């Protein structure tokens, strides 16, 4: 089983008075053999959730399960690997890429060099690149090496954290195609993280939308993209379509559009999105419930944490 599940996961930095809850009681499932795209603006908690999954950050609450077992209780290295945004953070510039990949191959396995060549070819690089150093490769090639290194540990789940954001647009498509091809060939479960919904929609079977540490919408990608139920998801979709001239908006909607995101150290009560919501109390006088009560996710399999999700 390679289902990755987050149950009530919370991650907090700092103390009680001056700390920050970056991830707040998140429930999220990455089904076996599928790709879940996790999207949200910077500071929403996406990368913190990813790092918690691979053990780089301790949990404050909740648990993370892989195949029904806690990833924290596994005695051996869990079959869960992460590919970072900047490959230079995971590739030693003093090692050849062949040595970097070989280092991640489980010890005792015969034919490690042959395995390195196989992995390089799997990610679209020729085996003779094994003798090169990271500085001799392009950014897109280094990201392919980082993926090969992650695959060297025979993972069942890959977490890809903003792996295309530092690449040229011309290279992004090739890397996205590679991720999708490798996922299908190996039957991997993938949590694909990005701030760009246009990128997430290209590779995902399911989409989860995160705002100020919480999941506000989750469902099959085609449903979330065609019929978004949360106002924040609609805002993200609008950002990748034709921009709207603020002068064409109603004054109340214009004021909401100009509102800055809430301070994550002091999130607003009730629905955390309500100060920016075009359906909320800043625009409609009868929506005090948004200020006073936190919405509970509604719907199946398409969930939305909005009091008025049915009024799309």
In the chain, domain spans: 87-154, 228-311
User: What's the burial of 52, exposed, middle or buried (CB within 10 Å: 0-12/13-18/19+)?
Assistant: buried
Q: Are 264 and 213 in contact (CB under 8 A)?
A: yes
Structure-block tokens of residue 55: 């053990």
Q: Is the pLDDT of residue 254 over 70?
A: no
User: What's the burial of 145, exposed, middle or buried (CB within 10 Å: 0-12/13-18/19+)?
Assistant: buried
Among 32-36, 89-93, 134-138, 192-196, the minimum mean pLDDT is found in: 89-93
Q: Is the pTM of this model over 0.75?
A: yes
Give the span between the Cα atoms of 237 and 241, in whole angstroms.
7
Phi, psi for 15 (deg, rounded to 5): -85, -175
In the predicted model, what is the mean pLDDT of residues 202-207? 94
In the predicted model, what is the mean pLDDT of residues 128-153? 93
In the predicted model, what is the mean pLDDT of residues 294-310? 91
Give the per-residue pLDDT at 88.
75
The 10s digit of each residue's pLDDT in 5-58 is 999 999 999 877 778 999 999 999 999 999 999 999 988 999 999 999 999 999
Highest mean pLDDT among 66-80, 237-251, 264-278: 264-278
Percent pLDDT > 90 in the chain is 60
Q: Is the pLDDT of residue 246 over 70?
A: no
Alpha helices (H) along the chain: 46-53, 97-104, 112-122, 139-151, 169-186, 197-203, 221-226, 231-239, 251-257, 289-292
What's the pLDDT band for 268 if we cut at 50, 70, 90?
Answer: very high
Higher pLDDT, 269 or 167: 269
DSSP category for residue 298: B
Phi, psi for 11 (deg, rounded to 5): -135, 125
The DSSP H or E segment spanning 158 is strand 157-161
């Amino acid at each position: 089983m390679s289902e990755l599940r987050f149950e009530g996961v919370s991650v907090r930095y700092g103390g009680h008075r001056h700390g920050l809850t970056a991830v707040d009681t998140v429930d999220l499932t990455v089904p076996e053999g599928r790709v879940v795209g996790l999207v949200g603006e910077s500071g929403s908690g996406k990368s913190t959730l990813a790092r918690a999954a691979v053990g780089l950050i301790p949990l404050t609450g909740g648990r993370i399960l892989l195949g029904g077992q806690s990833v924290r209780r596994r005695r051996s290295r869990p079959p869960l690997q992460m590919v970072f945004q900047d490959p230079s953070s995971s590739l030693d510039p003093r090692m050849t890429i062949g040595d970097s990949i070989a280092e991640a191959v489980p010890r005792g396995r015969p034919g490690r060099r042959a395995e390195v060549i196989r992995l390089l070819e799997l990610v679209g690089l020729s085996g003779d690149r094994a003798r090169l150093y990271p500085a001799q490769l392009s950014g897109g090639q280094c990201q392919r090496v980082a993926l090969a290194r992650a695959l060297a540990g025979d993972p069942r789940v890959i977490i890809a954290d903003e792996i295309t954001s530092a690449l040229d647009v011309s290279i992004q498509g090739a890397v996205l195609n590679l991720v999708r091809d490798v996922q299908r060939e190996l039957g991997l479960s993938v949590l694909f993280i990005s701030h760009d919904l246009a990128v997430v929609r290209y590779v995902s079977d399911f989409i989860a939308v995160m705002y100020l540490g919480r999941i506000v919408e989750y469902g099959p990608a085609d449903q979330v993209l065609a019929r978004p139920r949360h106002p924040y998801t609609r805002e993200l979709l609008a950002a990748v379509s034709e921009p709207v001239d603020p002068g064409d908006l109603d004054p109340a909607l214009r004021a909401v559009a100009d509102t800055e995101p809430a301070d994550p150290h002091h999130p607003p009560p009730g629905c955390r999105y309500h100060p920016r919501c075009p359906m909320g109390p800043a625009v409609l006088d009868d929506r005090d419930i948004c200020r006073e009560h936190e919405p509970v996710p509604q719907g199946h399999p398409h969930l939305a944490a909005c009091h008025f999700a049915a009024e799309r």
